[in-house]
Chain A
Amino acid sequence: MTSPSVARMGRARRSRNSAGVDVTGAIIRFQHVTKRYRRQMSPALLDVTCAVHPGEFVFLVGPSGSGKSTFMRLILREDTPSAGQVMVAGKDVAAMRSWRVPKLRRSIGTVFQDFRLLPNKNVYENVAFALEVIGKSRSQIKMAVPETLELVGLSDKADRRPHELSGGEQQRVAIARAFVNRPTIVIADEPTGNLDPATSIGIMRLLDRINRTGTTVLMATHDAAIVDQMRKRVIELDEGRVVRDHVRGVYGSYR
C-alpha cells in the first residue's frame, strides 16, 4: 500500500505519512493520547506517548484506576481518545470507519480476568465460536480449533463445559479463543487476576509461547511476582501518565 516515495516522506516526518501509515515499525503507537470520560474530573489517560513493536512482550502495570484498561480499550477501539492519536498496525484507530472496526479486532486477540466463556457451549464450541462469528468455513474451523487446543494443552477436554474446568483451564480456553484466529496482537487484561500463583505461572508460560510465535503480547497486571520473574518490558501508568518504561523491568514500587 505504501509506495517508496511516500515511505521516505513519512520517515522525514518521523511518525507517519499522509496516508496514516506508521513507518517507524511500531505495531501499537500512542501519540500524546489523552482520554477524558464525561463526569470525571481527572483524565483516565493524560498525554501518553509510547510505542510497542511487533513481537514484543509488554507488561502494563500500575494501581487500579491508573488507566490500564482505558489504554486497552483505545487499542480495541471500544473508545476513542479525547486528544492525540492511537495507531494500531499503521492505522489511525480513531479515524477508522466503524465498519472497519471488526477487521481491526480480528487482528487482536483479547483475554480477560473473568474468562468470558459461554457457559452453554463446550470448550471446542467456545473456541470455534470465535471463528464462526467471523464467517470462517467449517473446514477451516475443523483444522484451526484442535490445533489451538493442542497449543494450550486442552485437547483431551474439548467436550467439557466451562463449569467443569478449573480456573486455569478456563483461562486457557479463553486464550485459545483469542489466539485461534492467529492475531498479530494479544491483549490480556489481568489474565492471572483470578488464579493462584502456580496456575498463573502456567498461563504466563502459555502467553510466552504465543509471544514466541511472533505475536505481540500486551498484558495488564497487578501481579508483581510475575512481572519480576519474566523480565520483559514494563510500562507503568500512574494517574493516567506513563511514569516508567523499562526494557527489562520489574514491577517496581507497587506491592
Chain B
Amino acid sequence: MRIRFISSEVFAGLFRNVTMTIAVILTVAVSLTLFGTGLLVRAQVNTMKDFWYDKVEVSVFLCGANSDPGICPEPITDTQRSELQAALENSSLVEQVYYESSEEAFGRFQEQFANSPILENVTAAALPESFRIKLYNPEDYPAIANALSDAAGVEVVRDQKRLLDNFFTVLNGMQALALGVSAAMLVVTVLLVANTMRVSAFSRRRETGIMKLVGASNYYIRLPFLLEAGIAAAVGGIIASGALIGLKVFLIDRVLSPTFQFTAFIGWSDIHRVLPIVLATGISLAVLAAFFAIRRYLKV
C-alpha cells in the first residue's frame, strides 16, 4: 500500500506539470553530459600523460669530437663512461639505462629523416653518443640533471618531458574549462530543480495540508517530492549516459582514434568509471535540491 500510494503520488506529480518535468529532465541531461564530458576530458588528459610520459626519456649527451669545447675540453674516456653508466644503474631514481653509440644515433637519424636532404650533411661522427635514461617518475628529472650536468664527460642533459609540459599546460587549461562549464551547468540544474519542486509543492499544498492534518509523517509528505526529483534526474542522467556513450562510439572510436594514431584515447573502462559518477551526482544533487527547496513549505 505504501509503495502503491507513494508511487501514484510521484507519477501524479511528474505528470501534473509535464512541461516542467521535461525542462528538468533536459537540463539535467545537458548539464550531466557536460559534466561527464569534463570528467572524460580529464581522463583523456591523464591517458595521454600516461602514454607520453611512459615514453619520455632523459638523454645524457656525452662529450665527443664535435662538442662545445667550453664544456668538453676533450672527448669522454672509457673509464668516465663506465663510471657514469655504473652510477646511473645504481641510482634509485632510474628504471632503465641504455647506451646509444654514435652509430646507433646515426641509424635512428637516418630512419627519422629518410627522405630529407639533411641526411647528406650528417655523418655518424657528428652525432654524439648518449645514455638514454628512463626514470621511475618523470618528475625526478631535476635531481638527475643536477647530478649529471657537472660530471666529467657529460656535455648536456636533456629532458623530453619539458617539451610535453607546454602541451599539457594547454590540455590542463581545456580540462579546467570543461569542468568549470559543467560546474556552472550543475548549479543551473540545482536551481531549476529547486524551483520546480517549490512550484510542485505549492500546487499540491491542498494535499499536503490534509496530510499534515491527519498526521502523515514528514517522511510520507516529503518522499513523493524527493522521488519526483530523483526520477526526473535519473531520466536526465540516462540520456546523458547515452550521449557520453555516443561520444565514445562515434567521435572517439570512429573519428579521433583512426585520425590521431600517435596518441592513446580513453577506453571503455573510463566510460564505465565516469557513468556511475555522472548518474550519482545528478540524482543526489536533484534530491538534495528538492529537499532543501521544499523543507520550508512542508514543515509539519
Q: A residues touching B (Cβ–Cβ < 8 Å)?
A: 76, 98-99, 101-110, 116, 118, 129-130, 132-138, 141, 177-178, 181
Contacts and interface: CB of A to CB of B under 8 A. Distances in A.
Contact of B215 (A102, A141, A177): A102
Interface string B196-223: 0000000000110111111111101100
Contact of B214 (A101, A138, A177): A177
User: Which of A99, A107, A135 gathers most chain B CB within 10 Å?
Assistant: A135
13 contacts: A76-B213, A101-B215, A105-B214, A108-B215, A110-B213, A110-B214, A116-B213, A130-B210, A133-B220, A134-B214, A138-B4, A177-B210, A181-B214
User: Which of B206, B214, B218 gathers most chain A CB within 10 Å?
Assistant: B214
B236 to A, nearest CB: 28
Interface residues of B, number: 19
A132 B5 contact: yes
B217 A138 contact: no
B76 to A, nearest CB: 83
B136 to A, nearest CB: 58
A106 B215 contact: yes
A12 B214 CA distance: 36
Contact of B2 (A103, A107, A116, A135): A135
B224 to A, nearest CB: 10
Given A130-B214, A177-B214, A135 B220 contact: yes
A133 B300 contact: no
Given A135-B2, A136-B1, A137-B1, A99 B217 contact: yes
Contacts of B218: 99, 102
Contacts of B221: 133
B214 A106 contact: yes
B5 A133 contact: yes
A194 B216 CA distance: 27
A129 B9 CA distance: 11
A134 B5 contact: no
A136 B215 CA distance: 12
Contacts of A105: 212-215
